[in-house]
Structure 1
Amino acid sequence: MASKAPSIISSTPSHSWRGWLWDSADVSAEERRFLFKLDATLLTFGTLGMLIKWIDTSNITNAFVSGMKEDLGLYGNQYNYIIVSWTVGYIVGQLPSNFILTRVPAHIWIPFQEIGWTVFTFALAGAKSYRALLGLRFVVGLFEAGYWPALYYVLGSWYNKRELGKRNGILQSAVSIAPIFSGFLQAGIYNGLNGHAGLVGWRWLFVINGVISLPIAVAAYFFLPDTPGTAKPNWVFTERDLEIARNRMAQAGRKPEGKPYTVKTILGYLTSWKTLLFTLIFMIQPFGSQPFTAFVFWLKAHNIKGKPPVYTVAQINEYPTLGNAFTAVYSLTCVWLSDGPLRGRRWPVILFSNLVAIIIFTLLAITPVMGPFSHRAPLYIVSSIGSSMVPLTMAWMAELISDSAEQRAFTAAAMNTFQYTFTAWVPLVWFQQIHQPYVTPGNRAAAVIAGVNIILFSTTALLAHWEKLSRKRKNLNQLASTPGSSEPQTPGNEKNGLSVDLLAVQPQTPGNEKDGLSVDLLAVQPQTVQASGRPI
């Protein structure tokens, strides 16, 4: 019988600059081929789907300032209520979607959601009233609900600590890049298609959004992989690829799906400090992202009825893309630093970014609102620096909750649910449309919340550190109580034909991180014994 190929696990430290640039440069050829397949399918189609999703999300704002407000008579706080309608649908669909995801293959459930929101995005192009917009946006939000946490959950099921931050960052960059596409897309449509075939420019935006989205959703069915615990060999991933994936996740301590959902287990999730802290962090996250939304209203506020416009419709759509570009570049820089030179530590750049956010929000609150472009616009452009830490936060959560796939899925959904619960009311209280861009109280609140974030992230880092120390002490105590374990085993000191490497402490290897050390507590393997009784 042919011998089984050895398991290939990421084990080469990322010391070279090439390994820091892209982790697969330091692994074996076989694992490099596997990672290429994974990146080409999961990362590519996940990012494309995220891009389309967030183009749709940002299109409603672009459409509003490009004619929809006037065409449908959306005055007062009706814009806010349309946003809230989508948010309510998004909240309702969160937890059910992620529960389903741990039981239905990802390559079926995720594309199903994509097709659903595509169909109703097409329908938005034909909306004739405020009520129609409310209903359609609710259904679009319902279908979009599970997509974002589902992708983060699936990524956390395939990649180890050395790889996950970068992939999360690439995925999240679509959130920043999408408004850039949407802004220039709306500008191009307004100038080139406005009035074509009887449709005004803002309606064409939803049509084109759907046209782009549909083929990506169909292709995702064939390309998106399931999680390693549920995936079966197919035309992309062989049985050997899946074996590599499962071994990698076993070394990273990431458990596959399979635990039943019971009242007791869900109560356990609700009382876990990890689930509670990460959910709380995301719950207050909307305060950090809302100040940037004032930028487009600030630009539009310069145009006074009866006077020549200060900013054209194209400029109002395009200038905010500078903020999105900054967020994308900054976020990607941070995830590369975290995965590479910082060796998987997430908290240093997260704390630094929130400290800077406090300064930015304070300046937005104390400087004149209608100051010159050179004074005010740069503050808007960099104001999302704190909220750009989403990919590192999600990577940190997946790494700390490695022992339960179901808890990871539950926590991701809880984080997103409470985030959008706050998104539903924070704009109505602190960043109302009727007050834009004069939302100084909101900017003050954002500065305070950035300070709270520093406390929450610091608490998370301390608790995680204490948990690792506790786990090490527990393992050492177990070894001390094991019969015959008082004498460390060295070559030539094996007993009963076994080699027990009790404390093989060596520099950390990717995917098996424990405070910078790899502790192989019970590496037990049979020894071949010579006639003299000494092991070979």
Structure 2
Amino acid sequence: MAKAEGPVATVTMTTTTTPASTWKGWLWDSADVSKEERWFLLKLDFTLLTFGTLGMLIKWIDTSNITNAFVSGMKEDLNLYGNQYNYIVVSWTVGYIIGQWPSNFILTRVRAHIWIPFLEIGWTIFTFSLAGAKSYSAMLGLRFIVGLFEAGYWPALYYILGSWYTKRELGKRNGILQSAVSIAPIFSGFLQAGIYNSLNGHAGLAGWRWLFVINGVISLPIAILAYFCLPDTPGTAKPNWLFSEREIELSRERMARVGRAPEGKPYTVKVILGYFTSWKTLLFTLIFTMQPFGAQPSTSFVFWLKAHNKKGKPPVYSIAQINEYPTITNAVTTVWSLLAVWISDGPMRGRRWPAIIFANLVGIVIYTLLAVTPVFGPFHHRAPLYMLSSIGGTTVPLTMAWMAELISDNAEQRAFTAAAMNTLQFTPGNRAAAVVGGLNVIVFMIIVVFAHREKKQKKRNNQLEPAAHGSDADSDSHSHPSSIGDAKEKRASISVHEA
């Protein structure tokens, strides 16, 4: 460097070290960040996680209550026979499929605190209406509309979480959000049992009708509060009673550090067709096309219990037992899923695929045992397999986190892919579930290979952000500057000061 006239010029070499991942940080990541960022994350978790999880809980209660209602008197009251229950389920599914892509497209253009409560109020109104359904055809139409409103909620919440949290943080939050899906049937099962025992016939309504009424009563205040408390994405958020302008800037700095792009890219036919040809969208959608294999055997548990009761004979299992025993399956799912995401974010340093592959392999073993076990053998032979069968389907939060991390640079594609993953699904039986589990393992390994190749290509082209070096295929650390100041030091690590 040339010698300056007068005072000596100095070269300041500023180096920034990544905060070490402590055992406290493994338990909860905010232990390893600055006080400013810790306070920001506390407020974000309190609002986004609280109202997202409550909304997810209500959504899945409203989704699964049709099964509880069917086995608790709806079948007899509405004279349902043959495949009519299945057609009611299909009508909801059709609405769910139709609504997902439009909803997530809208979400990238309409602020989240407006659009998501709109969806919640919509399905609440029509859940109330289900209590008054007098016929099979009315139930078909109402369930279709409930599915239409519910369609956008699940992918929208995962999209929003992926827009706020870094790699070290996202797996745990996704796991907490998804735990509501497992807890909802537990709550719904005990709720239905309680309603049947205490409200059946009250005010002239059957117990199964009271279930829909109570679901609506619970849903409405949560939807109203979400309008005031649910944050938008960092790209669309404005200062309000909860987040200051400084904190919104912090959120944008955090996402910039991990290469997470905000909304704003235009939708064109060419752009949307490009999503269909992206290996990330294709492979993650293929995974979720096969994802229900992990849930199907466990959902058969309630029907297996009911099938033991023969008309004209004393019931083998009471209505309370039919509703309550399957909740053990959901408890197993919740515990396993949360354990997996904590290990992935912590000791595995953000790697997603090892926990995903392991759960799929465990699932294959259980589905195979279900396929070869006599259907109406002793309770202790088959029931424990049903209770453990959902383990293969516990990979949803890690899979969604992995998708958000690999499609960091395109918010619109993330929203599109989140909807696609939840749209195209099929439901196999036990033998097919074991086969599909093996296919899942193969597809996940293909994603690992492609992600690793992409990372190497970006390194060669000098396109890899310093904070993104911990890709899932080859994660080496949680590059996690502890504050905005650290991020700015990284961008200006060499500065020349002359007097």
Tell me the TM-score normalized by structure 2. 0.91
Q: Which residue of 1 aligns with 2:439?
A: 452
Question: Quick one: distance in 1 between partners of 2:149 and 2:288?
Answer: 21
Q: Which residue of 1 aligns with 2:376?
A: 370
Residues 112, 232 of structure 2: 8 Å contact kept: yes
Alignment CA distance shift 1:67-1:10 (3 Å): farther
Alignment CA distance shift 1:507-1:450 (3 Å): closer
- For 2:133, give the aligned amino acid: A
- For 1:13, give the aligned amino acid: A
Is 1:527 paired with 2:489? no
Q: Which residue of 1 aligns with 2:187?
A: 181
Residues 156, 398 of structure 1: 8 Å contact kept: yes
Question: Quick one: distance in 2 between partners of 1:509 and 1:295?
Answer: 41
Residues 11, 27 of structure 1: 8 Å contact kept: no
The match for 2:143 among 127, 137, 140 is: 137
Residues 154, 227 of structure 1: 8 Å contact kept: yes
Alignment CA distance shift 1:507-1:466 (3 Å): closer
For residue 510 of structure 1, report the CA deviation from its aligned partner. 3.9
- For 2:311, give the aligned amino acid: K
Map 1:63-142 to 2 at 5 A: 63-142=69-148
Q: Deviation digits for residues 2-32 of structure 1, max 9, x if unmatched?
A: xxxxxxx995232x22111111111111111
Residues 350, 478 of structure 2: 8 Å contact kept: no
Map 1:341-380 to 2 at 5 A: 341-380=347-386
Structure 1 unmatched ranges of 5 or more: 1-8, 431-441, 478-505, 513-517, 531-536
- For 1:411, give the aligned amino acid: T
Residues 10, 509 of structure 1: 8 Å contact kept: no
For residue 287 of structure 1, report the CA deviation from its aligned partner. 2.3
Residues 86, 142 of structure 1: 8 Å contact kept: yes
Question: Quick one: distance in 2 between partners of 1:201 and 1:318?
Answer: 16
Q: Which residue of 2 aligns with 1:475?
A: 462
Question: Quick one: distance in 2 between partners of 1:476 and 1:404?
Answer: 15
Q: Which residue of 2 aligns with 1:310?
A: 316
Is 1:284 paired with 2:290? yes
- For 2:190, give the aligned amino acid: F
C-alpha RMSD over aligned residues: 1.9
Question: Quick one: distance in 2 between partners of 1:525 and 1:152?
Answer: 38
SS at match of 1:526: strand
Residues 93, 142 of structure 1: 8 Å contact kept: yes
The match for 1:463 among 450, 455, 470 is: 450
Question: Quick one: distance in 2 between partners of 1:452 and 1:206?
Answer: 38
Question: Quick one: distance in 1 between partners of 2:367 and 2:324?
Answer: 23
Q: Deviation digits for residues 120-165 of structure 1, max 9, x if unmatched?
A: 0000000000000000000000000100000000000000000000
For residue 507 of structure 1, report the CA deviation from its aligned partner. 7.0
Question: Quick one: distance in 1 between partners of 2:463 and 2:227?
Answer: 47
Question: Quick one: distance in 2 between partners of 1:86 and 1:463?
Answer: 35
Residues 288, 449 of structure 1: 8 Å contact kept: no
For residue 373 of structure 1, report the CA deviation from its aligned partner. 1.2
Question: Quick one: distance in 1 between partners of 2:95 and 2:54?
Answer: 22
The match for 1:331 among 332, 337, 341 is: 337
Residues 167, 345 of structure 2: 8 Å contact kept: yes
Aligned length: 468
Q: Which residue of 1 aligns with 2:265?
A: 259
Question: Quick one: distance in 2 between partners of 1:507 and 1:199?
Answer: 60
Tell me the TM-score normalized by structure 1. 0.85
Question: Quick one: distance in 1 between partners of 2:317 and 2:52?
Answer: 36
The match for 1:21 among 24, 27, 37 is: 27
Q: Which residue of 1 aligns with 2:235?
A: 229
Question: Quick one: distance in 2 between partners of 1:509 and 1:67?
Answer: 53
Question: Quick one: distance in 1 between partners of 2:300 and 2:450?
Answer: 36
Residues 279, 418 of structure 1: 8 Å contact kept: yes
- For 2:446, give the aligned amino acid: T
Structure 2 unmatched ranges of 5 or more: 1-15, 465-474, 482-486
Question: Quick one: distance in 2 between partners of 1:374 and 1:254?
Answer: 49
Q: Deviation digits for residues 164-191 of structure 1, max 9, x if unmatched?
A: 0000000000000000000000000000
Residues 167, 478 of structure 2: 8 Å contact kept: no
Map 1:138-217 to 2 at 5 A: 138-217=144-223
Question: Quick one: distance in 2 between partners of 1:281 and 1:373?
Answer: 33
Identical positions, percent: 76
- For 1:97, give the aligned amino acid: S
RCO comparison, higher one (Cα < 8 Å, 6+) = 2
- For 2:430, give the aligned amino acid: N
Residues 169, 335 of structure 1: 8 Å contact kept: yes
- For 1:145, give the aligned amino acid: A
Question: Quick one: distance in 2 between partners of 1:394 and 1:468?
Answer: 19
Question: Quick one: distance in 2 between partners of 1:20 and 1:312?
Answer: 44
Q: Deviation digits for residues 281-336 of structure 1, max 9, x if unmatched?
A: 00111222111111011111111222221110000000000000000110000000
- For 1:275, give the aligned amino acid: T
Q: Which residue of 1 aligns with 2:52?
A: 46
Question: Quick one: distance in 2 between partners of 1:64 and 1:237?
Answer: 45
Alignment CA distance shift 1:205-1:10 (3 Å): farther
